[in-house]
């Protein structure tokens, strides 16, 4: 049976993962409307991945005899001040999610819920990858500078492919 404090933290994470999915969908729609097909494709894939993360939390809570309540999600922004600033937002958001995952780890330790502590380690590792991916994209954007984004847009999915193969 799931500890109530742990359950509360996990259910709160359902909202964060769902919002992440919606945020990346909004970013993808913006990029696609600007003709950046590669960037949009990368962000659509991220949105799908975040939705799967949300489902993992839902399944786990319910499997442990808790009750995963599906919240409403805050509306994400619809306009972004350029690709670099958008990916800076991606990194900032992933750092926020990492902190939230770490807070869950602490609740698990405080409540001596070692089963959930073990389960949440997958997300700890995932967040390391998510932040590294966002940083790698920002590094490439810094190399591009204010120049053409054409090659970056074309090649961004190869960056995602190497991150996915590490899973």
pLDDT of residue 159: 73
State the Cα angle at 93 between 88 and 95, rounded to 5°: 95
Residue 94 annotated as lining a ligand binding site: yes
- Which residues lie closer than 8 Å to 149 by C-beta, 6 or more apart? 36, 39, 83
142 CB-near residues (< 8 Å, 6+ apart) = 84
DSSP, collapsed to helix, strand or coil, labels residue 1 as coil
> Who contacts 112 (Cβ-Cβ below 8 Å, separation ≥6)?
none
pLDDT, residue 83, reads 94
pLDDT of residue 160: 67
pTM of the model: 0.89
Domain coordinates in residue numbering, the chain: 4-161
Q: Over its length of 167 residues, how does the chain's per-residue pLDDT go in tens digits?
A: 899 999 999 999 999 999 999 999 999 999 999 999 999 999 999 999 999 999 999 999 999 999 999 989 999 999 999 999 999 999 999 999 999 999 999 999 999 999 999 999 999 999 999 999 999 999 989 888 766 776 777 788 777 654 454 44
32 marked among binding-site residues: no
Looking at residue 165, its pLDDT comes to 45
pLDDT, position 154: 76
**pLDDT given for residue 158 in this prediction:** 77
53 annotated as ligand-binding = yes
Superfamily name and number for 4-161: Ferritin, core subunit, four-helix bundle (1.20.1260.10)
Q: What is the pLDDT of residue 44?
A: 98
CB atoms closer than 10 angstroms to residue 16: 19
Burial (0-12, 13-18, 19+ Cβ within 10 Å), 144? middle
| DSSP per position, 80-92 | -S-HHHHHHHHHH
pLDDT computed for residue 147 by the predictor: 64
Q: From CA 68, how far away is CA 73, in angstroms rounded?
A: 15
How many residues belong to the chain? Answer: 167
């Amino acid at each position: 049976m799931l500890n109530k404090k742990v359950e509360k933290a996990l259910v709160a994470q359902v909202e964060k993962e769902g919002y992440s999915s919606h945020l990346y969908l909004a970013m993808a729609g913006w990029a696609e409307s600007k003709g950046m097909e590669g960037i949009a494709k990368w962000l659509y894939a991220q949105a799908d991945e975040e939705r799967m993360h949300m489902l993992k939390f839902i399944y786990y809570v319910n499997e442990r005899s808790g009750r995963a309540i599906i919240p409403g999600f805050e509306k994400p922004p619809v306009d972004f001040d350029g690709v670099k600033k958008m990916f800076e937002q991606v990194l900032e958001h992933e750092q926020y999610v990492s902190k939230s995952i770490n807070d869950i780890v602490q609740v698990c330790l405080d409540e001596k819920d070692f089963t959930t502590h073990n389960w949440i380690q997958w997300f700890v590792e995932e967040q390391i990858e998510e932040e590294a991916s966002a940083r790698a994209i920002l590094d490439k954007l810094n190399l591009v500078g204010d120049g053409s984004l054409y090659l970056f847009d074309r090649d961004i999915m190869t960056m995602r492919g190497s991150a996915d193969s590490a899973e």
